[in-house]
């Protein structure tokens, strides 16, 4: 199965889609990482909006809900979110 992906040059394009969609998960933080992913649903379509400071920005389309949620878990592992799930904000600075 192929995942459709298109590179976009402006964050405004990503923001326009993000504003219309239901946000499912935001992973990453541009203050801490060079990129972040916003997973969202628009009707019965599933997208990942990839914002980047250093590389291209992308819109990824996931044709199946199962693939979409699987990619969310993969991205959490990439960003180390699963490792910090139990950590509080104050613990991050100790």
In a domain, 31, yes or no: yes
pLDDT at 84: 44
In a domain, 83, yes or no: yes
- DSSP state string for the chain: -PPEEEEES-HHHHHHHHHHSEEEEEEE-TTTSSEEEEEEEETTEEEEEEEESSS-EEEEEESSHHHHHHHHHHHHHHHTTTTTTT--TGGGG-
In a domain, 26, yes or no: yes
47-70 per-position pLDDT tens digit: 999 999 988 999 999 999 999 999
Which range marks the domain in which residue 61 is found? 4-87
- Give me the number of domains the chain comprises: 1
Residue 2 confidence (pLDDT) above 90: no
pLDDT at 3: 67
In a domain, 8, yes or no: yes
């Amino acid at each position: 199965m192929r995942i459709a992906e298109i590179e976009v040059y402006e964050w405004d394009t990503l923001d326009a889609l993000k504003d219309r969609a239901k946000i499912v998960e935001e992973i990453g933080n541009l203050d801490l990482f060079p990129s972040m992913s916003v997973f969202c649903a628009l009707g019965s379509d599933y997208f990942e909006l990839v914002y980047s400071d250093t590389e291209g920005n992308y819109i990824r389309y996931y044709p199946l809900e199962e693939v979409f949620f699987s990619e969310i878990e993969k991205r959490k592992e990439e960003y180390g979110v699963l490792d910090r799930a139990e950590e509080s904000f104050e613990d991050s600075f100790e």
